[in-house]
Each structure stands twice: as structure tokens, then as C-alpha cells.
Amino acid sequence: MRVLGQFLALLAVSLSGLAHRKGPTLTIVVGVSCAVGVLVSMLAMGSGARRQEMSGVRADQVVVAEIGQRPLAGSIPREDAAAVENLPYIRRDRGGRPIVVMQSMVPISGRRRGTGARIFVPLVGVTPNITAYRPEMRFTAGRMFHPGLHELVVSNTCTRMFSGFEIGDKRSIHGIPWTIVGHFGEGQEGQCTILADVNTIMSTFSRDTYSGLGVMLRSPADFGAFSAAVKADPAVHLYAERERAVMAQNFKPLNSILDFVSYFVGTIMAIGGTLGAVNSLYAIVDSRRRELATLRAIGFRPGTVVASTLCESMLLALPGALIGAALAWVFFSGLSASPFGYSFRLEVTPTLVLIGVVWALVMGLIGGILPAVRAARVPVTTALRAT
């Protein structure tokens, strides 16, 4: 209890004198604010990207792929696709047809608006029942492509990010002109997606197999039974995976890049903020040498001095963390970003704010170690003679 009393008393004395040490105090708060603000703003990219990639995913949607291949990267024969259509547990549209979308994907390039940079985006051949599989898909201009024709429909993200995707524009794909006939949206921004008739795509690229299948189940609870039915069919060599898991796996490289950049830049800023905190705390300790020496002379233990200095450092970092997180939310939350042909909005979440607070407390702890040891090691007799 005596040690705790000493700690609280010393901490109270330290905090009461902050008004007379405005310069060093502001240096710590501003340094931590900058470091946390940058970290939270950068992490908001990954948070926004993850929210965007899952925004259109439904629990009753399943991807069927070839065993041994990644989804949308296999070679599924037409007869295997027809066999999947006959399996139970699949939802049917108003006409009584199973909602199974055959897909064939190829990459094509687009020119970014303004810079002219060339970025590859997916051209996905699909069956016309894609609108039943994606009920959130809404046409904002034009119409759906007609099967058998060289026509394309593109997401609104394509028209915003790239040139040459307006209604009536023609794109040369495999030496054949394809006409843009429609623009669609899916609620939020997302990846630039170009859709065309799957059979026309396969004919153009001399393919006879699908890249993958999209299946809508009658209920999310039917996934286990449907997956077992796919595995049990000896005529096919396919497996089923929830679309949510497929999307998470597909975007894992992008999320890893965003997280790496965020923590790399945040660490550099944190090092700078920590060094600023060390210098400021050294100045505070030096200005209080006589005071600290007096306290030690009347019985305050060195360990108590160390603990109170560390706690003071962390408490000074806390408002910096809150200010930095608040600035990140005000200036960056909701801001659009479009790396690698994928568009999303930055999102500052409570989890990111908590990460920022923990990050700041660690900065305060590390920054306070050396000044705290210095405060505890000052000889009492030397400090009492200091002017």
C-alpha cells in the first residue's frame, strides 16, 4: 500500500506540473497524433477493402470448381456443369430453372483515366441468369447483353476508373470488336467487372470448358448437403466452396499488401514519434531533477520514480492517440481509393481506433523507459546541488 501511495502521489505531482512544461508535452502529443493518424488512415484502406469485397456476398451462394484448381481457374466440361444443374438443394428461378451460372474468365486490359496506365481487369463470360444469381445487380444505363452477340456490360467502377467503357464504345478483344451495351451497379463500388455471354467468350477463345460455376442454394443451411452431393457424384471431379471463403482467399494478396504498407509506414512514423517522446521526457526529467531528488531523499523509492515516469509517458500518449484517430476519421473515413483496378472506400472502425490506442501506449512505454531510468539513477546529492 505504501508503494502504491508513493506511486499515485508522484504521478499526481508530475501531471500537475504539465501546465509549466507545455513545449515538451505538446511535442509528445503531436508526435503520437501524427503516428497514430497515419497508421489508422492506412489501416482504413484494408478495412474498407475487406468490407467492400464481402458486401455483395450472400450466405446461400456457392462456387463449384475443379478438384485441384482454384475457383474460376479450372476446366469444367459442359457435361459436368449439366450434372451439377441436376443436383438437389439448388434454388430455382421463376421459370423453374436451377440458378447455376456457368462462367469463363479471361483478363483484358484497360487504360486508367488521367494517367493512361494499363491495368488488367477480368472479363467474365456468364449465362444470362446472372441477374437471378446477383439480385442486387441493377442496370444504370443501357441493357443486358444478348446471347450469341459480341456485346459487353460493365460495372460502374469501370466507367469511373477507365476510359473506353461508355455505352456504344467498342473494345477489340481477340481481334474482334465488342460493343458496350450496358452499365450496372451492385450497391457499392468494388472491382471493375466486365460481363459477356459465356458461350460467345468460349467460342472466341476456342474453349470448350468452363472456368467455374456459381450456384445459389435454397438455403445457406443446405451447403453441407450440397457439397456432399457434389463429392458423391462419380461422374464429376468437382468440389463446392462457399463464395465468402473464395472471395476472402482471392483478395488475401491485396489485403496482405495493404496491411504491410500500413504497418511499415506506421512503424516509421512511430519511430519518429517515439524519439520525439524520448527527447521531450528527457527534458521534463532534467527540469525536475531537484524535485525528484527531494522526493527520493524523503523516502520515495527508485522503482516508484520509474513507474510514475512510464505511466506519465503513456498518459501523455493517450490524448495523442485519440486526436490522431479522430483526424483519420474526419479526413479519411469514406474517402475513395482505387488501387490495382479495385475501388473501395476507406473505413475507420472502432477496432482500428483501439489498435491506434494500443500503438500509442506502446510508443509511450518505449519512449519513457530511458528517461524513467535516468530519473531513478540521478544521485540524490548531485541533484540537490543542481541549479
- 293 falls in which pLDDT band (50, 70, 90)? low
pLDDT tens-digit readout, 188-240 = 556 788 999 999 999 999 888 998 899 999 999 999 999 999 988 787 889 89
Rounded to the nearest integer, the mean pLDDT of the chain is 81
Residue 258 has a pLDDT of: 77
- 387 falls in which pLDDT band (50, 70, 90)? very low
All structural domains of the chain with their residue ranges: 2-54+253-385, 68-236
High-pLDDT (> 70) share of the chain, %: 83
Q: 144 CB contacts (<8 Å, ≥6 apart)?
A: 128, 131, 153, 181, 182
Q: For residues 192 and 123, what is the distance between their CA atoms, to the nearest angstrom? A: 9
pLDDT tens-digit readout, 62-89 = 999 888 888 777 788 999 988 999 899 9
Residue 25 has pLDDT above 90, yes or no: no
High-pLDDT (> 90) share of the chain, %: 21
Residue 159 has a pLDDT of: 85
Which DSSP string corresponds to 201-263?
HHHHTT--EESEEEEEBS-GGGHHHHHHHHHH-TT--EEEEEHHHHHHHHTHHHHHHHHHHHH
Q: For residues 357 and 367, what is the distance between their CA atoms, to the nearest angstrom? A: 15
- 1 falls in which pLDDT band (50, 70, 90)? very low
